[in-house]
Amino acid sequence: VASALAPLSEHTPFPRAALHGSAPRPGARVALVLSGCGVYDGTEIHEASAILVHLSRGGAEVQIFAPDIPQMHVIDHTKGQPSESETRNVLTESARIARGKIAALAALSAANHDAAIFPGGFGAAKNLSTFAVDGKDCKVNKDVERVLKEFHSAGKPIGLCCIAPVLAAKVLKGIEVTVGHEQEEGGKWPYAGTAEAIKALGAKHCVKGVAEAHVDKKNKVVTTPAFMCETEIHHIHDGIGAMVLKVLELARK
């Protein structure tokens, strides 16, 4: 007992933790694509966690991926300012959310999954694309573009939340997505201007509330506003739940 309670040394290897139980679960095979760890330079952690909770409840088998690339930059989240001397890797940072169980995005093939989901956070606009800098003229990471096109061509559903719908709007022409409302409404929708960028990319923007998901049935693209709205976190959790539910429904068809 004493040895079991002994403090771990700094060299003690940690086991790669499982996100879900080890027993096999017959459910949809869902790929979750992350963009780092932290809202201002990576994945919005609460969105990723909510997606995982709702996928777990829905009986899905989840694999997590992220591109093995440097972050655009590192933000000190206590100040909201760039940390000029620091560099981080998107895959390494995303592994924090995945509890170590993650693979490089280059290994993701639509043939091995029934659906793909992209959480938001500025990483989607900084690391998975250049949208944060270039807006409608942005470029999308080549593996992100490949994955979106593979799932779309295979008729497999794609879920995106927060700012991530810009990725699909750029790559899949003429789709329908939502990033929430189109007016700021006194600060409730601080990123409302993104709706115009969605339209400039050639997609149709559909106004939805934070607890709602929009389903483009033709293209099997499901989106929800999440933290594009300034509101209580449980509303965001509910909207993500609606998105995940629709993705899983489409994956079963």
- What are the residue numbers of the active site? 162
| Residue in 84, 117, 125, 139 with CA at minimum distance from that of residue 244 | 117
For residue 222, how far is the Cα from the chain centroid? 12
The token pair at 87 is: 């560099």
In this structure, is the dihedral angle defined by the CA atoms of residues 48, 96, 37 and 90, taken in order, positive or negative? Answer: negative
| Strand ranges in the chain using DSSP code E only, listed in sequence order | 29-33, 61-66, 75-76, 81-82, 103-104, 115-118, 158-161, 176-177, 204-205, 214-216, 221-224
- Rounded Cα gap, residues 213 and 111, in angstroms: 26
| Residue in 93, 2, 76 with CA at minimum distance from that of residue 40 | 76
For residue 57, how far is the Cα from the chain centroid? 18
In this structure, is the dihedral angle defined by the CA atoms of residues 140, 124, 130 and 200, taken in order, positive or negative? Answer: positive
